[in-house]
Amino acid sequence: MSNILHSQDRPTERRPDVLAHVAGNVRALRAERGLSQDGLATAADVSRRMISGIESGEANVSLSTLDRLAAALGVSFSRLVRPPEMPDNSRIDSLAWRGPSPDSRATLLGTVPAAREAELWTWSLGAGEVYPAEADAANWHEMLYVTDGVLTVEREGAAPKRVERGDFLIFTSDRPYLFANRETEPVRFVRNVVF
């Protein structure tokens, strides 16, 4: 499963600030809306234990779970992961996902308004690494540009697409998909999520 960084992932590394931001932001937004942990759990379709773990900074949490929490709280994904004092349309530059390989990581660079929002990410996947993603809501789009290596994008019901260095792919993300590095060298790419 794809998880946001957790303090136990790599004991020699400093705990990423994004975890503290998520914990504090979820707690503050839940309180602002007068929701109990049970109420937020029901609205986001996650367990109360998960809400408790997120708010204490002790839970591994998938990016899709953060999307569901953001929707339940009526805010954007970026609002959950950025420092609370940071305004919209700013540089976020937060490591939000890491795979088992040290070459696999995703950093949310920033966002701008769209129908709701657009997110700018840098991603890399080590050799053989895969990042599975759940389906997004209708009208969400992915825009990918490969800067190094070869990225394979597999979408439910569609043939896999190989995207080589210097090439791009745009697709609607309303069905499950995955990013895969089927090569022997890392792949690096820029990802825009528009919704």
- The pLDDT tens digits of the residues spanning 138-193 come to 888 999 999 999 999 999 999 999 999 999 999 999 999 999 999 999 999 999 99
Domain stops at, among 48, 81, 114:
81
Residues 30 and 104 in one domain: no
Per the structure, the count of domains in the chain is 2
Write the CB contacts of 42 (distance below 8 Å, at least 6 apart in sequence): none
The pLDDT of residue 2: 47
Residues 189 and 113 in one domain: yes
The pLDDT of residue 164: 97
The pLDDT of residue 3: 52
pLDDT band at 1 (very low <50, low <70, confident <90, very high): very low
Asked if the structure places residue 42 within a domain, the reply is yes
Residues 54 and 113 in one domain: no
Task: Please state, in angstroms and rounded to a whole number, the distance separating the CA atoms of residues 77 and 4.
Answer: 13
CATH code, 183: 2.60.120.10
| Parallel/antiparallel/unpaired status of strands 118-125 and 187-194 | antiparallel
- The pLDDT tens digits of the residues spanning 54-73 come to 999 888 888 888 989 999 99
- The pLDDT tens digits of the residues spanning 9-58 come to 444 444 456 777 899 999 999 999 999 999 999 999 999 999 999 999 88
Residues 106 and 70 in one domain: no
Residues 104 and 148 in one domain: yes
Whole domain around residue 160: which residue ranges?
99-194
The pLDDT of residue 7: 42
Closest to 96 in 3D by CA, of 105, 86, 87? 105
> Once rounded to an integer, what is the mean pLDDT over residues 99-121?
84
Residues 77 and 105 in one domain: no
Place of tokens 């998520």: 22
Residues 54 and 110 in one domain: no
